[in-house]
């Protein structure tokens, strides 16, 4: 069949429309019965507890390398004692939320897409609808709630472990005083920084769950289609996280005032 | 058509058309299914039989036409409104479509759990439904551990557990050996004669359709037996043959067997 630009554009507009409806319904479901508490808790365990090891490892090494790199530059200006401050600001405002979200996207957006995709291609989603249960309520909303809630706490943990990673480098390689490192790291943070750092994971959690579920539910063409949906979900979620991060950062800077 | 007329029938299709891209799937199809009756949908692969079942449940939407199920116009209802109606209808998918991450018990109990039925009653009804399909011993097994025929029977148990008013069977005997097929046909006959459930049955196996039309379920022997000659017995089983998205034939077993249509004669002798 010949490639048609109109058909291609129509297809994309339709995809955006379907994604918007799905993500809106998943959110709206929170405000009406029935709610699936058991499914929410199960997803919290899978997404939150299951992601602990990678989030801790990513946070630790990011904080450590951040301390190492920033110390290199700061030493040139004789400002090595600012290392704690720099690690703290970068981790809390930016790297903590973004890297945690990217890791969770890699792990869970793919998981959601493959699980829901398999259910879609084996007619289990249709079976669920036929049994009188709304898949957006039973499958999407619990994943959305769990991701938004758990990513918030995973980010706090990642920030803390990142600072700890930085402190290990500060102590062992830079020979800085630990007390000074933690004091400067703590004192530099304003409420605006913490607000910015904690609003992002909630938004990114929304992106991860809705994108993962959307690609899963729109999977077509057997196991190959499920594989394709999984890859697309991770790519789309990661790119969206980075793009939204830029706009949200700018917006919050305007709203909360510059550094 | 009045609403009262719709309510008098289990399923009504009125001039229903549907196409996927360039391909015409249904072209102005109309038929009615009486309460307590079974309609066997016949036709070559791709003639739109499964689509009819999905349209009945509102899983698909037609391009034009009206579909009324149990007095409610499916084609005018929104997805969120359809969930309530779907709880009164049971479906057995061709590939069973069991939830593979749940045990047989979880699958069969799914609808009751959703309706927050007390656990004790769920346990009772699940074992009753599994006894009906003679699979009481599989309660804790997972779908992957079952054979194709067993999966099909679990799907039947899942569909009948809430005593639906309409049952939709999508090729329940496809790809099964003759013994298992007969077991399944016997279950369908039992459901028809004991519970008087209205049903649409899609099948490729003509012998199954004729068995349904010529047998009844004997409560004395708990078995399906042929209707003896001379009995004034209405099996309430009729046939609908589809060709190119259109209705080619509609009638009972005797009429289809004596049909003049060359296409049907060829289909019957295949």
Cβ of A131 within 8 Å of Cβ of B57? The answer is no
B95 shares contact with chain A (CB less than 8 Å):
yes
Decide if A106 is inside a domain: yes
Q: Which of A199-208, B167-176, B251-260 has the least mean pLDDT?
A: B251-260
**In this predicted model, what pLDDT tens digit does every residue of A5-62 receive, in sequence order?**
888 888 889 999 999 999 999 999 888 888 899 999 999 999 999 999 999 999 999 9
At B137, give phi and psi (nearest 5°).
-80, -5
Decide if A85 is inside a domain: yes
Tell me the average pLDDT of chain B: 86
Strand order in the sheet with B166-170: B89-92, B166-170, B198-202, B38-42, B237-243, B246-252
Decide if A24 is inside a domain: no
pLDDT band at B1; cut points 50, 70, 90: very low
B111 shares contact with chain A (CB less than 8 Å):
yes
Decide if A20 is inside a domain: no
Domain ranges of chain B: 3-88+164-269, 95-163
Domain that holds residue A167: 36-256
Mean pLDDT of the B258-266 span: 79
Decide if A9 is inside a domain: no
Hey, of B53, B93, B148, which one would you mutate to test binding to chain A, going by the most A CBs within 10 A of its CB? Answer: B93
DSSP state, A46? Answer: I
B95 vs A contacts (CB less than 8 Å):
122-123
B20 shares contact with chain A (CB less than 8 Å):
no
Q: Are A68 and A173 in contact (CB under 8 A)?
A: yes
Hey, of A37, A131, A133, A222, which one would you mutate to test binding to chain B, going by the most B CBs within 10 A of its CB? Answer: A131
Decide if A167 is inside a domain: yes
Cβ of A123 within 8 Å of Cβ of B57? The answer is no
Q: How far is CA B223 from CA A122, B126, B192, in A?
A: 33, 22, 13
This prediction's pTM: 0.87
Q: What's the CATH number for B3-88+164-269?
A: 3.40.50.300
Cβ of B54 within 8 Å of Cβ of A124? The answer is no
A128 vs B contacts (CB less than 8 Å):
99
Decide if A222 is inside a domain: yes
Cβ of B99 within 8 Å of Cβ of A127? The answer is yes
- What torsion do the CA atoms of A109, A115, A116, A122 make, to the nearest 10 degrees? 150
Decide if A146 is inside a domain: yes
Number of domains in chain A: 1
SS3 assignment for chain B: CCHHHHHHEEEEEEEEEEEECCEEEEEEEEEEEECCCEEEEECCCCCCHHHHHHHHHCCCCCCEEEEEECCEEHHHCCHHHHHHHHCCEEEEECCECCCCCCCHHHHHHHHHHHCCCCHHHHHHHHHHHHHHCCCHHHCCCCHHHCCHHHHHHHHHHHHHCCCCCEEEEECCCCCCCHHHHHHHHHHHHHHHHHHCCEEEEECCCHHHHHHHHHEEEECCCCEEEECCCCCCCCCCEEEEEEECCEEEEEEEHHHHHCCCCHHHHHHHHC
Determine the length of chain A: 259
B79 vs A contacts (CB less than 8 Å):
134
Mean pLDDT of the B181-190 span: 86
């Amino acid at each position: 069949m010949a490639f048609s630009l109109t058909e291609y554009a129509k297809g994309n507009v339709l995809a955006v429309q379907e994604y918007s409806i799905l993500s809106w319904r998943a959110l709206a479901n929170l405000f009406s019965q029935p709610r699936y508490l058991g499914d929410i808790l199960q997803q919290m365990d899978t997404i939150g507890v299951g992601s602990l090891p990678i989030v801790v490892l990513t946070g630790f090494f990011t904080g450590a390398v951040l301390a190492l790199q920033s110390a290199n530059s700061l030493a040139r200006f004789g400002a090595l004692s600012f290392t704690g401050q720099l690690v703290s600001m970068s981790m809390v405002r930016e790297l903590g939320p973004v890297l945690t979200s990217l890791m969770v996207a890699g792990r869970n957006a793919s998981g959601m897409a493959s699980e829901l995709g398999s259910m879609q291609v084996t007619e289990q989603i249709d079976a669920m609808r036929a049994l009188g249960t709304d898949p957006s309520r039973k499958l999407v909303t619990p994943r959305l709630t769990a991701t938004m809630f758990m990513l918030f706490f995973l980010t706090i943990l990642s920030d803390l472990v990142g600072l700890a990673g930085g402190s290990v480098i500060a102590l062992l390689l830079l020979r800085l005083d630990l007390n000074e490192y933690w004091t400067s790291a703590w004192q530099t943070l304003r409420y605006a920084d913490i607000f910015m750092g904690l609003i992002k994971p909630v938004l990114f959690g929304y992106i991860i769950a809705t994108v993962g579920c959307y690609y899963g539910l729109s999977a077509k063409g057997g196991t190959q289609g499920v594989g394709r949906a999984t890859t697309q979900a991770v790519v789309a979620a990661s790119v969206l996280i980075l793009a939204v991060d830029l706009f949200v950062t700018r917006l919050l800077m305007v709203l909360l005032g510059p550094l | 058509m009045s609403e009262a007329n719709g309510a008098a029938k289990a399923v009504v299709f009125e001039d229903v058309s549907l196409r996927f891209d360039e391909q015409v799937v249904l072209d102005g199809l109309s038929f009615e299914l009486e309460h307590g009756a079974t309609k066997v949908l016949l036709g070559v692969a791709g003639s739109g039989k499964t689509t009819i079942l999905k349209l009945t449940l509102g899983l698909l939407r037609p391009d034009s036409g009206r579909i009324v199920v149990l007095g409610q116009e499916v084609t005018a209802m929104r997805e969120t409104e359809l969930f309530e109606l779907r709880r009164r209808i049971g479906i057995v998918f061709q590939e069973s479509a069991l939830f593979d991450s749940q045990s047989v018990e979880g699958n069969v109990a799914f609808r009751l759990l959703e309706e927050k039925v007390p656990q004790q009653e769920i346990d009772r009804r699940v074992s009753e439904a599994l006894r009906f399909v003679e699979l009481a011993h599989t309660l804790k097994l997972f779908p992957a551990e079952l054979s194709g025929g067993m999966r099909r029977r679990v799907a039947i148990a899942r569909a009948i557990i809430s005593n639906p008013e309409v049952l939709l069977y999508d090729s329940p005997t496809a790809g099964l050996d003759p013994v298992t097929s007969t077991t399944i046909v016997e279950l369908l006959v039992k459901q028809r004669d004991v519970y008087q459930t209205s049903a649409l049955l899609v099948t490729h196996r003509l012998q199954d359709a004729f068995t349904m039309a010529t047998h009844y379920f004997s409560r004395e022997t708990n078995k399906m037996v042929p209707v003896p000659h001379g009995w004034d017995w209405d099996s309430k089983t009729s046939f609908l043959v589809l060709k190119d998205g259109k209705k080619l034939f509609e009638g009972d077993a005797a009429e289809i067997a004596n049909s003049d249509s060359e296409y049907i004669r060829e289909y019957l002798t295949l």
